[in-house]
Amino acid sequence: MFIFCAFDGMAQVYEHDHEHVAPIHLNPALTGKISHPSSARTTATALSLPFFEDFTNYGPVPDSSKWVDFEVYINNTIGADPISRGIATFDDLDGRGIPYDSFNNSDFRPADSLTSKPIDLSALTPADSVYLSFFYQPQGNGFYPLNNDSLMLFLKDRYGNFTKVWAIPGTALQPFQQVMIPITDTLFFHNNFQFRFMNMAALYWADAVWNIDYIRLDKNRSAGDTTIGDVAMTMNPTFLLNDYTSMPYSQFMANTAGEIASTVSDSIANDTALFQSVNYAFSVKDLGSGAILAGAPPASVSLAGYQKVGVSEPLAISSYPSYPANTSVVFQTQFYFESTASTGGTVNDTIVKNQVFDNYLAYDDGTAEKSYYLNLFSTLPGKIAIEYHLNQPDTLRGVSIYFGRQIPFAFNKFFYVYVYSALAGVNGFRNDVVLDSIEDAIPGYVDSVNFFWTYTFPHPLILPAGTFYVGTLQPAESGSDSLYIGLDVNRVGSNHAYYNVFGNWQPSLISGALMIRPVLGHAVAGTSVADVSIAENNWTLSPNPATDNLQFTFDGDDKLTYHITDVAGRVVLTGIIASGNSVDIAQLKPGMYFVTLGNAGTRTSTKKLIKL
């Protein structure tokens, strides 16, 4: 049974014994996405009615032809039972995917905004019956917004003022609900009209999640005009594999019958009041060769008004393409309405998903909606282990881990990476059998490869076919309690996870996949260097005091991550830098700061910086 408890009075934390789930505090899908300047709010070209948005672009930022700010996250993973493919998610993470405020967790302030481009309503009056409608959902697959959180809608009048016309307080998960807003005040009928959604949140936590879909603004409507008039694909198609979400192609080919799923499924929603009959088709294509591997003739599905139905197609692949060892292979699944192939149709009439075969084993889909961690006694270590299987012998090169961001960053939470062939009390074994380990590792949060941080073994580990386990150990008396690991809550089926906090391995009772991936096959370059520490005298900052630019100098050719925090502990500047390069600090206010430098396998002392 899961227990709800409050953490620091605000963040939602779900626990079962020592297993906990918490917010992610980071959305790396937005990392490196540059938000448009705020001047775009007033310089955008005016649109005309009708205005419609169902967020069917593949994101992660809003469509610049309709919106002038880019703080929300466009996705198809955080919504629970979405109306169609694509939603806009509001939380407390900014356009860079990090918290607006990484220190103050008691101040409720505006967070994400979604503002339309100007729309010309100057030729209309209240008599034209203009309505703005949209669907909203609290929580979705994230954490629900608290009572003090809220979702709001503002309209811009002819004097440039935004007036709040609708708001709802935070609440627990609900289905998507539609809201109808009549525009009746003459102040809103002008050539520079805009509307803006905004959420109010405690800016420290990523638990104030709202989802929005199907926004429609048009004239000649009524309060009863709630029918969307659309038939659409909704969820992402299921993976082509039975259990893994990704695996090396050579491992797959060693047991295709055991690894391939028997069917591929999706769902179709009829968002009209009328009975609909839809012809849809399905195909699987090898993107490397272009060959069609599987498919089915168009099938018909009947839907009553506002009905959603699941569709499932047998997956029969008679022949698989041949590729050299260590080749990344991609099969693309596509569900589409029959008319889409010839006419182009509506974007949400088609949905695709790539099945990736690469050099790792995974149960997750690459996106984290929450974080998983163990809450430990200070005198006892904590262990996590994920069960994997090999169909033929292979070489284990390293382990990739997706870390949930912690505030402040968990650079002092060192841990070990362990590989086991057996766990005591699991599958009949009496003792743990450790095959190898990586000691003194530090979490990392920035990486160009799927946002995972990779730890490599000094010597490759040859594994036989069969079961093995990969996980982490957090030492006792180390201050490494509560190390966040990404959790993909869209995982269906067993999570294959075990934890150990009292000397006994227990099956995890948390739903979802922990984002820990064994890396196999050819040699890989890790994003960590094990057992390396940078002594205080081996790196320097100059000049110090500094005014505009700060140069980092350290040993080695690796790029390292720097963090600059203020005296309150807030991270004010972070990034990756090579020795000899400089960082622009002109925007920092004069005062004293603290600087750390390192990566997942390195630790440094903290240096004091004086900004003039």
Q: Which CATH number belongs to the domain containing residue 597 in this structure?
A: 2.60.40.3080
Q: What is the C-alpha separation between 37 and 35, in angstroms, rounded?
A: 6
Task: Please name which of 378, 411, 598, 599 lies closest in space to residue 478, comparing C-alpha atoms.
Answer: 378
Kindly tell me if the per-residue pLDDT of 199 is higher than 90. yes
* Alpha carbon distance 469, 496 (integer Å): 10
What's residue 16's pLDDT? 54
pTM of the full structure: 0.76
What is the structure's pLDDT at 612? 87
Its domain, for residue 500, covers 370-520
Q: Do 440 and 573 fall within a single domain?
A: no
Name the pLDDT band for 40 (thresholds 50, 70, 90).
very low
Residue 341 confidence class, pLDDT cut points 50, 70, 90: very low
Question: Residue 433 contacts by C-beta under 8 Å, 6 or more apart in sequence?
Answer: 420, 421, 422
Residue 421 reports pLDDT greater than 60: yes
Question: Residue 604: what pLDDT?
Answer: 57
> Binning pLDDT at 50, 70 and 90, where does residue 2 land?
very low
Whether 50 has a pLDDT exceeding 90, the answer reads: yes
Cβ atoms of 99 and 107 closer than 8 Å: no
Residues 24-35 pLDDT 10s: 766 766 765 544
Number of structural domains in the chain: 4
Please check whether residues 259 and 177 belong to one and the same domain.
no
| Mean pLDDT calculated for residue range 434-452 | 76
98 and 185 belong to one structural domain = yes
Mean pLDDT, residues 58-78 taken together: 89
The residues pairing with 138 across neighbouring beta strands, listed in sequence order, are 210
Instruction: Say whether 195 sits in a helix, a strand or coil.
Output: strand
Domain boundary among 304, 333, 357: 357
Mean pLDDT, rounded, of the chain: 84
Across residues 425-433, what is the average pLDDT? 94
pLDDT, tens digit (0-9, with 9 covering 90-100), for 492-551: 888 999 999 988 999 999 999 999 999 999 877 666 434 334 444 478 899 999 999 999
Is residue 240 in some structural domain?
yes
Asked if the model's pLDDT at residue 481 lies above 90, the reply is no
Q: Mean per-residue pLDDT for 238-249?
A: 96
Picking from 357, 378, 404, the residue at the C-terminal end of a domain is 357
Choice among 33-42, 279-288, 450-459, 594-603 with the minimum mean pLDDT: 33-42
Query: 215 with 280, same domain?
Result: no
Note the pLDDT of residue 492.
82
Pair (131, 215) in one structural domain? yes
Which residue, of 199, 224, 249, is where some domain finishes? 224
- Lowest-confidence pick of 259-263, 372-376, 472-476, 605-609: 605-609
Query: For the domain that residue 140 is a member of, what is the CATH number?
Result: 2.60.120.260
How many whole angstroms separate alpha carbon 150 and alpha carbon 132? 19
Are 184 and 201 in the same domain? yes
Q: Is residue 531 part of a domain?
A: no
Give me the percent of the chain exceeding a pLDDT of 90: 48
pLDDT for 10 beyond 70: no
* Structure-token pair, residue 198: 């905004």
C-beta of residue 145 within 8 angstroms of C-beta of residue 172: no
Model confidence pLDDT, tens digit, residues 558-576: 788 787 876 544 567 878 8
- The stretch 207-219 carries a mean pLDDT of 92
